[in-house]
Amino acid sequence: QQQVKQSPQSLIVQKGGISIINCAYENTAFDYFPWYQQFPGKGPALLIAIRPDVSEKKEGRFTISFNKSAKQFSLHIMDSQPGDSATYFCAARGNRDDKIIFGKGTRLHILP
């Protein structure tokens, strides 16, 4: 049973455009929502993370939007660049849990 559902599976965006990746969850006990970025042949690396008491968090060109009532959160990449081409994973952790659960990932390709 997948607890974090991520879409789309793959995404192609023109350079300079906005990339949007969405995730939905069902467990209301989740209290930590990170996004990871993974380049080919490398391990995932934390990109940005948010708590459910915050509706939006921005770090440079990367923004997490969080909708607690809808149990959805999304990653927005502004002014997308070819160097952003990677696989992105949303994830979540329960408030009494030690482990992070991952979505299935989105392969993002930015056209030059």
Shortest Cβ 77–another protein spacing (Å): 19
CB of 103 to another protein, least distance (A): 6
CB of 102 to another protein, least distance (A): 4
Binding another protein (rule: CB under 8 A), the pick from 13, 21, 23, 50 is: 50
Task: Tell whether residue 83 is a contact of another protein (CB under 8 A).
Answer: no
Q: Are 92 and 25 in contact (CB under 8 A)?
A: yes
**Which residue number, 17 or 107, has a Cβ lying nearer to another protein?**
107
Q: Contact with another protein (CB under 8 A): which of 32, 61, 65, 109?
A: 32
Using only the alpha carbons of the chain, give its radius of gyration. Answer: 13
Separation between Cα atoms, residue 46 and residue 51, nearest integer Å = 14
Which residues sit opposite 58 in a β-bridge?
Answer: 63
Q: Point out which residues bind another protein (CB under 8 A).
A: 6, 9, 32, 34, 41-46, 49-51, 89, 93, 97-105
